[in-house]
Structure 1
Amino acid sequence: MFVQTTDRGALDELVPVLEYFVDRSCLPEWKINRQTIAFHNLSWLLAGSATFWCDGVPYHAHAGDLVYLPRGSTRRAVSDPEDLMHCYACDFQCQSIGGTATARLPLPVLSRIGIPDGLLELYRRLNRVWLEKSPGYGLETRGLFSMIIHRLVYAEEPSRRLSVVQDFIIQHYAEPISLTRLAVLVRLNPRYFGNWFSDRMGMTVKEYINRIRIRKATDLLATGGFNVAEAAYDSGFEDVFYFSKVFKKIAGFPPSDLLRFGSAGRSPIPD
């Protein structure tokens, strides 16, 4: 019997058992052939890039990304031969204290967590203990790996959620984007989401969306193939007059200047 562990409170009953751990530096020919796995897998990329498939869906991972493949999923993977992957990878089982197997952890397949020093130190210690296998190493590896799982699920969650929101906005900037849609995406209350985002980004969701849209519009106008109205609509604005107002506020000059003078002599839009 398996339990779907999506409630973080239920993780207090979790007992992770590490079966395999490796500090992997890939060669150009490295790959994992298609297979259905009888364990959970975590791969944290420290450098390079690779493509992982989970149940047929490709996920392109880069340095600072975490890839989680749950038990029972079908996987395969290849490293980018031009940008070879270096990662920590581990296979493990998850059970509750009562012995019930866990179907999956409350982690997405691909998430952006960066390379925080505290997490890196835990992985380095785990790597050393795993390789040395001194007396008591089993107890120590369970303790270290439990701390890693805790950190990935709890401590790194805010930055992971923020990355999910940012990536969604960048991919869907030309579409209508509501607070509710974004809040549901990261499982937050829509009433709380706006303040949560502002506290972390220093700007409102609307300001961030407008900034992304204006950057996209600037790129379109700089090509010379779009007029102001076309750039406005293609970047997600429904009102060209509002677009011009927002553009001037963010860029410091009207969008028509890009058509008259091009990007030469103009400062880039501030971060």
Structure 2
Amino acid sequence: MFKIDTNTFNPQILYVGDCYTNEPRIGENHHHDFVEFSIIYEGQVKYNIEGKEYWLKQGDMLVLNPGVRHFDIAEPGMHNVQLHIGFRNFSLTGFPRNTFPFKEAVLRQHDTSTEILPICDEILREKSEEKPGYDLLLKTYVMQLIIQILRETEPRQIRTSGLKLSMEELEKQQLVNQIIYYMEKHHTEEVSLSTLSETMYISPAYISRVFKEETGDSPIHYLIKIRLEKAYELLKDERLTVKEAAKLVGYNDAYYFSKLFKKHYGFPPSHILQRTS
């Protein structure tokens, strides 16, 4: 029913957090510029989504696309534990990036199998234990959760109009996916707009414009993020020096690499070495 490009299926996990509520509260009405999953892990809660109220119980979940306004309401005597997962850089072939083509944000327990909560069990366990490599495993479980949701989606839950991409838009999406795949494979090499242009046989200006439209990023800034994420994993799991990690992801200048790393993560790469030593 849905098709994912396996070469470029690499969602960026922004956060994984659990929240316990056992007293009356009304959350702040808000929206995100990324996708958020909110799973009711225990108890029950009421949600207001775009002005419409829903009662949710254990096993129910929300799939909130960018721009969907929502807030939760805990009434007296209610308690709940919710698991919130935010991510971006996700696409289904033929649909806009960072969008699930569902008619409603709410997926009821009877619409999903019991596979959802067991995956959440693993996510919460990894998050609480924080063993080496836990954040990589969290990403793996989130990817598993995405696939499980798509597998269990019934035809009646899917929006059949208003979301499908035109042929021109689909071609742009496929081009961007090809560029991302190329950068993932060649991030250790010298990659520039000229390189991408020669590889894709498309002008640099067109590549820049289409890539920005699809991802909100320039190709080179996207490449930097790929390199920094790879470096983070190298530093954490292989106990390399900063200079060695920088070189392995395509930077000969360790000082420049450190500046980029700190700007992206908010702390220098040496901080990871201190945590793992």
TM-score normalised to the size of structure 2?
Answer: 0.48
Q: Structure 1 or 2: larger strand share?
A: 1
Greater Cα radius of gyration, structure 1 or 2: 1
